[in-house]
Amino acid sequence: YLHIFTFITGISNSQDVHQNETDRIKFPGQSEELHCSHSSSSYNAMLWYKQTRGKGLELIGYLVMSSGTVEDKFKDKANLEGNANKNSVLKLKDLSSDDSAVYFCAASIHSAVGCLPSQQKPWCINMQLQ
């Protein structure tokens, strides 16, 4: 039998952060790219979070300008690319049931002085086994 993964984009009230993805079917071991962009000239940082059912948000990594940093827990699973002034791509590899979660993309202003509120848009990755 086959394990089938369905990728579904989420919805948000955010006007500044955009995601234009469609549903996808994936098999175990395959890879996936999640794209996120924003329209604010103020934002220079983009962050990616994972939320597994019943748990809080986990930071996967962040992109400041064109420099990406992935948290240690996700170094073997995820990679970040793009230019945070416009867009970010979260690349996930070797997909498994542990990757079933809601993925959030956030755009913000990076500042050494303090943190400012971010605009978020969710990714919903809903795994179905068949």
Instruction: Note the pLDDT of residue 82.
Output: 93
The one-digit pLDDT tens for each residue of the chain (130 residues) are: 233 333 433 334 455 776 666 566 777 898 988 888 888 887 888 889 888 888 888 999 999 888 899 999 999 999 999 998 889 999 999 998 888 877 888 888 766 544 444 445 444 444 333 2
Residue ranges of domains in the chain, CATH in brackets: 3-129 (2.60.40.10)
**Per-residue pLDDT, 37:** 87
| pLDDT given for residue 14 in this prediction | 53
**Residue 28, class by beta-carbon neighbours within 10 Å (0-12 exposed, 13-18 middle, 19+ buried)?**
middle
The pLDDT of residue 62:
92
Contacts of 98 (CB under 8 A, 6+ apart): none
Largest CA distance in the chain: 54
Residue 130's pLDDT is: 29
Backbone phi and psi for residue 101, each to the nearest 5 degrees, phi listed first: -170, 175
SS3 (DSSP) at 124: strand
**Contact in structure between 108 and 116 (CB atoms under 8 Å):** yes
DSSP annotation of 97 reads G
Q: Are 87 and 69 in contact (CB under 8 A)?
A: no
